[in-house]
Copies of this chain bind each other. A is one copy, B any other.
């Protein structure tokens, strides 16, 4: 079976950086999973003794803790500091940016509007930096039922689609006298999405590799499904031979937290198929 990789796929800058930090500070636990990829988390545990702690309360018993790529809520960070727990910060710099914007803009009196999933750890962290209660918009459809102040500042979860972000910005510009729009969508996300789209157009089937709780991986799957058959898998064990029967070529895309070693195993398995 012929396999073609997307021009951009897999690890982004922030994930690479976080894994380097975790490998350097071996035997230090992370507060919540470092990235949204269980296999890579398992590897860090086995090879570097980097475990996962589920709550800030448990982290208080440690001498040091690694903050995940998605960041941490402000009050938790302050609690850890106060109790003398050393913080090793693997927050993606692209996530630190909207946190800082929320803090500064809310101080200046702007109402904070965040485009993102309110349950996602990145968004929870960003929200916590606003001095006033922020409005979190999960989808464009929610806009009509919301009311806004005259002066608002808009940021986005780093992994959202720019086209929806622009729809939200347009809505606010029509209703508010000043809108400060901070485009905090991560470039790597956009590049992986563009590459997945091009690949899907030319493939009979696409395998998207990544964590099932990964926001950017789910978006890749949605994009690929617009053009062809597409499946989301976490590793090669989930691959089914039947998906490729009668297909000419298979494309591979992968989320920003998917390591190369998982992608390689999948490619090898699919290339081995003969019909």
Which A residues lie at the B interface, using CB under 8 A?
Answer: 162, 165-166, 169-170, 173-174, 176-183
Contact = CB atoms under 8 A, between A and B. Distances in A.
CB-based closest 9 A-B pairs: A179-B181, A166-B170, A173-B181, A180-B180, A178-B182, A173-B183, A169-B173, A181-B181, A166-B173
Nearest to A190: B174
Contacts of A162: 174
B180 A178 contact: yes
21 contacts: A166-B170, A166-B174, A169-B169, A169-B170, A169-B173, A169-B181, A173-B183, A174-B183, A176-B183, A177-B182, A177-B183, A178-B180, A178-B181, A178-B182, A178-B183, A179-B180, A179-B181, A179-B183, A180-B180, A180-B181, A181-B181
Contacts of A182: 177-178
A243 B59 CA distance: 82
A238 to B, nearest CB: 36
A166 B162 CA distance: 15
A179 B182 CA distance: 6
A179 B173 CA distance: 11
A77 to B, nearest CB: 25
Contacts of A169: 169-170, 173, 181
Contacts of A173: 165-166, 169, 181, 183
A158 to B, nearest CB: 13
A178 B100 CA distance: 13
A177 B181 CA distance: 8
Nearest to A184: B177
Nearest to A176: B183
Nearest to A165: B173
Nearest to A182: B178
Contacts of A165: 173
Contacts of A179: 180-181, 183
A91 to B, nearest CB: 18
A183 B179 CA distance: 8
A176 B179 CA distance: 14
A182 B170 CA distance: 12
Contacts of A180: 178-181
A270 to B, nearest CB: 36
A93 B206 CA distance: 58
